[in-house]
Amino acid sequence: MHLKSIKKAVIPAAGYGTRFLPITKVVPKELLPIGNKPAIHYVVEEAVRSGVEEIILVCHPSKNGIIDYFKRDKDLQIFLERKGKKEEMAVIESIESMANFRVVYQKEPLGLGHAVWCARKEIGDEPFLVILPDVLIADEIPASQYLIDSCQNGDEWGMLVERVTPSEVSSYGIARVDRMKEKVYRLTGAVEKPKLSQAPSDLGILGRYLLPPEILRILERVKAGALGEIQLTDAIDQLARERPGSAVMSRGEIFDIGTPEGLKEAYQYFEEAVGRISRTVQEGQMKVLRRR
């Protein structure tokens, strides 16, 4: 299959959001606002702008708000229509029609690898993207599209990486790489949250993966690793040893919105950069943001 046609993206969104407690007792962290849109909207938009047609949301059964956000709300539509609120109606309708949304449940927080494995039936036998909603990347080229295009010249699977500082190494999956060609390294392995002394490089995995379906067969056998969880990085390590992939240097403005500070920065960026951002986030939606 030609890599241009990556049609499915998995978005893991089943975590408890402990860094944002107490708000995350009732509001999933993926629904915390950036402007007047929830954070997860931005990564769905990125996927859609990268050609994805089917979004597989991996949710916890208690986090139905995420599903509701992407679902049709007939009562609201009827209400807006009666009031003649055409612009608002268009915004609401554009959300549900962005993609086909599928939902799978991860009932226990057993790790990112387990979350992806929970989506195996929906993924089927084709390459797919994994997009972590904790990482927002603002760029003219949507980050997932950039990853797809960069892998296309070589190994047909891979992930985005960024340089991390020594103190950050143990919070990331770290790539093992050898040669490099135009910002793309050959990926030969990966280690999840290593000690600095055991890190194979200073390239941290950045929440965007293009994976072949074989990864699902590897995930089925992978044992619990770092933090006692089934780690996607461990499956990637096995795959890369058999068939090297690409570690693609990221570009654009990166926000780790898995922390309150990062979320605040993203909010400020997306609010202040309205003029500049019209190239990176759909203009229509930014207009709505500007009005508030």
Q: Can residue 132 be called a binding residue for ligand G1P (CB under 6 A)?
A: yes
Q: Which is nearer to ligand G1P, 73 or 265 (CB)?
A: 265
Tell me how far CA of residue 198 lies from CA of 113, 118, 168, 173, in angstroms: 21, 30, 13, 12
| SS3 label, residue 59 | strand
Site for ligand G1P contains 206 (CB under 6 A): yes
Query: According to CB under 6 A, which one of 40, 135, 151, 219 is a site residue for ligand G1P?
Result: 135
Binding piece for ligand G1P, criterion CB under 6 A, among 24-32, 52-60, 178-186, 199-207:
199-207
Applying CB under 6 A, the site for ligand G1P has a residue count of 12
Residue whose token pair is 């949304």 = 101
Task: Report the residue from 205, 240, 248, 281 that binds ligand G1P according to the rule CB under 6 A.
Answer: 205
Closest CB to ligand G1P among 173 and 189? Answer: 173
Beta-carbon-side half-sphere exposure of residue 202 (alpha carbons within 13 Å): 6
Closest-CA residue to 247 (of 217, 218, 204): 204
3-state secondary structure of 161: strand
| 192 contributes a contact to ligand G1P by CB under 6 A | yes
In a 13 Å sphere around the CA of 182, the CA atoms on its Cβ side amount to 5
Decide if residue 204 touches ligand G1P (CB under 6 A). Answer: yes
Our finding on whether 248 is near ligand G1P (CB under 6 A) is no
Q: Write down how long the chain is.
A: 292
Task: From 46-54, 141-149, 200-208, 247-255, give the range in contact with ligand G1P by CB under 6 A.
Answer: 200-208
Q: Within a 13 Å sphere around the CA of 187, how many CA atoms are in the beta-carbon half?
A: 36
* Contact call for residue 233 and ligand G1P (CB under 6 A): yes
CA 191 to chain centre: 19
For ligand G1P, the binding residue among 172, 209, 255, 270 (CB under 6 A) is 172
Contact range with ligand G1P by CB under 6 A, out of 32-40, 66-74, 205-213, 265-273: 205-213
Judged by beta carbon, residue 35 or residue 258, the one nearer ligand G1P is: 258
The CA distances from residue 46 to 9, 39, 53, 159, in Å, are: 10, 12, 11, 15
Judged by the rule CB under 6 A, the positions of this chain that interact with ligand G1P are 112, 132, 135, 172-173, 192, 204-207, 233, 258
